[in-house]
Amino acid sequence: MAEVQRLNGAEMESTPDLLVVEEPLEIRLGFGPSYARKQKSISITMRTPGHDLELAAGFLYTEGIVEHVSQIRKIGHCLNVKAEEERENVVKVELEPEVEVDPGKLQRHFYTTSSCGVCGKSSMDALESIGCEIYPDDDFQIPSGLLLSFPDLIRSKQTVFQYTGGIHATGLFDREGNLLELQEDVGRHNAMDKVIGSNFLRGTVPLSEMIALCSGRLGFELVQKALRAGIPVLCAVGAPSSLAVKLAREYGMTLVGFLRGKRFNIYSKPERIIFPAPQS
């Protein structure tokens, strides 16, 4: 909550305004054999508090550090942080002793912002190392009319957005158009990680029968995360970047942008979208 000066017509008034909370979250990883455990801080991301464990799990999965929920022994907020007010801003993930961790993936110390995600990471070569595979030709299809209904459905469920107007969302739909999950965060990449992490912790990845819709624009990192989770159709109300389109086309993902009102653009793999027959 902040006191703001608001221009209303020709008059200026002082009024309280609700703000989206943005705080850092540090993700720590515990790994190695029982007799020689190691701990490393692998990410600091600016996020909206809430569903932190899902965010951490989703980040580890989309970065290729873990493959299955059974590899995680324990996940929770770190209680041994000296400053009590910072405990809710640190999540520690303990891996099972037999899990092998690639030191190369931990050498990059990630600092992610709420605006762009992992800054400077644009190498498409990294996708093979985290397990992204080219989608096979399949019979997955969804009617265009269902896609058009998704933005309004998500907006109606965005409780934080209704009060602040300053938060992103990722929604996960099945092919019947049911909204299965919705996560909000000040960072669009965090909202995606929360959705993927929630399913990862339930053991329901890959999401090969799902459609994801993101608020805002689509960049490389969101496509990479969706590819890692096996999502065949990724949509956004905003524009995709050139690298996002290139990546989607290379891996056979259906990429939809400018999904708003009664229109959208398909940038790759259009055969997954079914259009009504033209009326004669």
CA distance 197 to 206: 11
CA distance 2 to 117: 26
What is residue 73's predicted lDDT score, i.e. its pLDDT? Answer: 97
Is residue 116 among the annotated active site residues?
Answer: yes
What is residue 157's predicted lDDT score, i.e. its pLDDT? Answer: 80
Selected catalytic residue, list 78, 116, 119, 214: 116
* Per-residue model confidence as pLDDT tens for the chain (280 residues): 556 666 677 777 776 656 778 899 999 999 999 999 999 999 899 999 999 999 999 999 998 999 999 999 999 998 776 666 677 899 999 999 999 988 766 665 455 554 555 544 445 566 666 767 888 888 899 999 999 999 999 988 866 555 455 689 999 999 999 999 999 999 999 999 999 999 999 999 999 999 999 998 999 999 999 999 999 999 999 999 999 999 999 999 999 999 999 999 999 999 999 998 776 6
Q: Is 232 helix (H, G, I), strand (E, B) or coil?
A: coil
Question: pTM value?
Answer: 0.89
What is residue 56's predicted lDDT score, i.e. its pLDDT? Answer: 97
What is residue 124's predicted lDDT score, i.e. its pLDDT? Answer: 58
CA distance 50 to 159: 13
Give residue for tokens 């940038």.
267
Give the number of other Cβ atoms within 10 Å of residue 137's Cβ.
Answer: 8
CA geometry: angle 113, 155, 119, nearest 5 deg: 15
CA distances from 278 to 36, 60, 146, 274 (A): 67, 46, 17, 12
What is residue 85's predicted lDDT score, i.e. its pLDDT? Answer: 64
Label residues 211-230 b or e (16+ Cβ within 10 Å = b): bbbbbbbbbbbbbbbbbbbb
Q: What phi and psi, each to the nearest 5 degrees, are found at residue 220?
A: -55, -45
Contact call for residues 188 and 170 (beta carbons, < 8 A): yes
What is residue 121's predicted lDDT score, i.e. its pLDDT? Answer: 47
What is residue 107's predicted lDDT score, i.e. its pLDDT? Answer: 61
